[in-house]
A = this chain, B = another copy of it.
Amino acid sequence: MSTPPSHAAKDAATVGVLGNGQLGRMLALAGLPLGLRFRFFDPAPDAPACAAGACVLAPFDDLAAADRFARGLTVCTYEFENVPAALARHIERAVPVRPGPLALDVSQDRLAEKSLFRTLNIPTPAFLPIDSLDDLRAGIASVGLPGVLKTRRGGYDGKGQQVLRKPEDLQPAFASLTAGLAQDAGGARSAGLILEAFVPFTRELSVIAVRSTKGQVAFYPLTLNTHQSGILHTSFAPLSPLSPEMESTAHGYARAIMEHLDYVGVMALELFDHNGRLLANETAPRVHNSGHWTIDGCVTSQFENHLRAIMGWPLGSTEALGACAMINIVGQSPPTEALASLAGARLHLYDKAPRPGRKLGHINFVERSEADLHARVNAALDLLARSRSGGA
């Protein structure tokens, strides 16, 4: 039997992704059914995305590898915001990078990001740049205690920040966060700290928004998020008791940021709901964990709409198909067989080895009523709790 000719399409587009973690994996799982091909650039071997596309394994400062990665791509995007902006700018000389590197500049620096909110008249907690312990003392005198001291760059999942509750907390928090900055050899240049007023928020919300190359915008319903140890634990959407005014306010904020940055792709905006007033916390220039419910909860998921946007295609529907929830599987996971026994569960596992604090997968539910949803979510939370305590 002779080797048959290739059956593959000759003109398929290839999407390049900086980063090869689970967000890249889910981009590919959404994009392969659109006929797209995927190539990832990241130093991590055997990473989640490598099951669904070619992986170029190299450090982010290896520009020769970046050139190999970029060759023949239709468009390049990224799946995490701590990709060096210099790498994105290098690749942009050969291939469109969407969202543009300007979005990276803003989201990589909490001070730039908060300043943008202020420029756009988007309410945000009071903030001050902190470059010395004297700055910090003066800052606390201005915003009061408690306050939150954060690194301007590199923080995620609750890392790189400390809550200051009493005057004695200032010096150790400053020392610990600046020591962390000095150790952070892999990141971009250290750019100091930022002090933010502590917001005793009622709840944390997020909005996933998307804007195409043609300026078309769409917004998913506002999502309610809960956290455990600083890591996203659950998301619920849509929020039925929510006032339509609050939702349109949140969408307006996301629209203003995207239009200001001439943004292309999916952007997440995290918000504090402070007694009914929304305060912008931060943005992520990428698909976002609080949008994972859209994989099963919408006709067009955040992953598919990100790809439609960066390809210049029409955006798809962002309407919720029911009462939706997402539960993260963090640290360790019950056996797949046990997860598969959960009625109505849609599993999304990332093929990662268990480790404390590591996101290993998530479970989505889409139900006809909130009562059904909560019963099924509770069954899943019970299973995960039993697994953590060694009982499953």
- A21-53 toward B: CB 8 Å interface, digit per residue (1/0)? 000010001001111011000011111100111
Partner of A43, one of B1, B38, B46, B343: B1
Decide if A317 touches B343 in the complex (CB within 8 Å). yes
Decide if B25 touches A351 in the complex (CB within 8 Å). no
Decide if A46 touches B340 in the complex (CB within 8 Å). no
Which chain B positions have C-beta within 8 A of A311?
A: 336-337
Partner of A47, one of B7, B61, B341, B347: B7
Which chain B positions have C-beta within 8 A of A361?
A: 35
Query: Please, how many residues of chain A have a CB less than 8 angstroms from a CB on the other chain?
Result: 57
Is the C-beta of A353 less than 8 angstroms from some C-beta in chain B?
yes
CB-contacts of A299-351 with B (<8 A): 299, 308, 311-314, 316-317, 336-337, 340-341, 343-344, 346-351
Decide if A8 touches B47 in the complex (CB within 8 Å). yes
Which chain B positions have C-beta within 8 A of A352?
A: 7-9
Partner of A341, one of B10, B314, B348, B351: B314
CB-contacts of A162-202 with B (<8 A): 186
Which chain B positions have C-beta within 8 A of A61?
A: 1
Partner of A46, one of B7, B312, B366: B7
Task: Tell me the minimal C-beta distance from A310 to chain B in angstroms.
Answer: 13
Task: Tell me the minimal C-beta distance from A224 to chain B in angstroms.
Answer: 23
Is the C-beta of A246 less than 8 angstroms from some C-beta in chain B?
no
Partner of A336, one of B32, B313, B341: B313
Which chain B positions have C-beta within 8 A of A25?
A: 32
Decide if A43 touches B353 in the complex (CB within 8 Å). no
Task: Tell me the minimal C-beta distance from A199 to chain B in angstroms.
Answer: 34
* Bound-state Cα–Cα, A34 to B299, Å: 21
Is the C-beta of A4 less than 8 angstroms from some C-beta in chain B?
yes
* Bound-state Cα–Cα, A32 to B295, Å: 14
Decide if B43 touches A3 in the complex (CB within 8 Å). yes
* Bound-state Cα–Cα, A43 to B353, Å: 33
Name the residue in A34, A37, A51, A366 with the highest tally of chain B Cβ atoms < 10 Å from its Cβ: A51
Is the C-beta of A229 less than 8 angstroms from some C-beta in chain B?
no
Which chain B positions have C-beta within 8 A of A158?
A: none
Is the C-beta of A120 less than 8 angstroms from some C-beta in chain B?
no
Partner of A337, one of B59, B312, B336: B312
Q: Smallest CB-CB separation from A57: which chain B residue?
A: B3
User: Can you sample 8 A-B contacts with CB below 8 Å?
Assistant: A3-B45, A6-B353, A7-B358, A9-B351, A9-B352, A311-B336, A314-B340, A316-B340
